[in-house]
Amino acid sequence: MNSPAVEVLTFGEAMLSLQTDGPLGADGTARTTVAGAEFNVAVGVARLGHRVSWAGRTGRDEPGRLILRTLRGEGVGTSHATTDPEAPTGAMLRERRVADLARVHYWRSGSAASRQRPEDLTPALEAGARILHLTGITCALGEGPLAAVRSAAEYAAEHGWTVTLDVNHRTRLWSHEAATTALHLLLPYVDVVIASDDELPLLSAAPGTSPERGEADLIADLFGAGIGEVVVKRGADGADLYLPGAVPVHAAARPVPVTDTVGAGDAFCAGYLSGLIDALDPDARLQRATTTAAFAVASSGDWEGLPHRDELALLDAAPGSAIR
């Protein structure tokens, strides 16, 4: 049986991103770029040397063309991306408000990505992949995107792919209750769950059950639902990997100066997916994930500082070193 041409398939909303260096009301200077959870993951996985396809939907406009050019420039396949002639590409503004506190403003209602439908993904799914990477953000964009996620997950599971889900809960997009109800419908198709510790109840506690259950019980719920791996991100405290019947694996966060935490979770996912593709043991793939996350938090931007494969060892050098 021939291996698929693509190792990771993902899709979701990529947006025009304006990032200010100060409060918007104080005329902070803005930098123009593009960003989005699945976009960031796709770039991160491609930089680590893997074959990636992004099958999201953009407007037929200049921000949409910028997104596709950027992805292609990073080595991400876009042949299955679709464009909408009637809806715009979404946009976001990340405002550095005070000290290291940033707030994000979105313009994504009615965007091209919010109009994605299951049939838009048919060519990408039929082309095949080893891993389908999904996030809760796309599920929150509307009934069409949620249906697209469900049908893609079902197709991938039926065809023996690995399905990974990063919960990535956004309270400004949907409520805790709506997320819990929708994401539970995905669990029968998911192999790997990636979540921060405060996101676990969205997947582990069935709607209507007590929110006070401990983390061990929540993880046991996921194993009972057929999930094979649960990865819990703990920020500065590193991450833990849980496998059924095995001792949990812990990886400490890499000690780096924190410049920008936005995108760190996506970088973590990219490193973890890379470890899965390379068939690394649990400890090694968790270490790769915390390493790629460290590159993200030590760099400005959502994805710009993500490492290439030959750069992974840079963080092993002494602080302040010059690599000559």
The pLDDT tens digits for 151-180 are 999 999 999 999 999 999 999 899 999 999
Domain presence at residue 149: yes
Percent of the chain clearing pLDDT 70 (strictly above): 96
Q: What is the mean pLDDT of the chain?
A: 93
Res 101: pLDDT? 78
Q: What pLDDT, on a 0 to 100 scale, did the predictor assign at position 209?
A: 55
Q: What is the pLDDT of residue 195?
A: 97
| Residue 237 clears pLDDT 90, i.e. is over it | yes
pLDDT value at position 98?
Answer: 75
- CATH number of the CATH domain containing 280: 3.40.1190.20
Domain assignment of residue 104, yes or no:
no
Q: State the residue range of the domain holding 263.
A: 8-13+36-87+112-304
In a domain, 29, yes or no: no
- The answer as to whether 267 is a domain residue is yes
Query: Quick check: 205 pLDDT over 70?
Result: no
For residues 241-275, one letter each, b for 16 or more C-beta atoms within 10 angstroms of the residue's C-beta and e for the rest, the string is: bbeeeeeebebebbebeeebebbbbbbbbbbbbbb
Least reliable range by pLDDT among 60-64, 252-256, 318-322: 318-322
Instruction: Answer whether residue 315 is part of any domain.
Output: no
**pLDDT tens for residues 268-290?**
999 999 999 999 999 999 999 99
Among residues 219, 116, 203, the alpha carbon closest in space to that of 165 is found at 203
Lowest mean pLDDT among 103-107, 197-201, 231-235, 276-280: 103-107
Examine residue 323 and state whether it is found in any structural domain, yes or no. no
Question: Which residues are bridge partners to 84 per DSSP?
Answer: 59
Total domains in the chain come to 1
- Domain assignment present for residue 320? The answer is no
Would you please indicate which residues are annotated as catalytic (active-site) residues? Answer: 266
Predicted local distance difference test score (pLDDT) of residue 26: 75
206: in domain: yes
185 to 9, 136, 146, 236: CA distances (angstroms): 20, 12, 10, 31
Give tens-digit pLDDT for 96-152.
877 677 788 899 999 999 999 999 999 999 999 999 999 999 999 999 999 999 999
Of residues 219, 229, 223, the one with CA closest to residue 269? 229
pLDDT at 206: 55
Q: What is the average pLDDT across 298-308?
A: 93
Does the pLDDT at position 222 exceed 70?
A: yes
* Least confident among 49-53, 206-210, 274-278: 206-210
| Residues 299, 300, 302, 303, CA torsion sign | negative
Q: Could you tell me the pLDDT band of residue 313, with boundaries at 50, 70 and 90?
A: very high
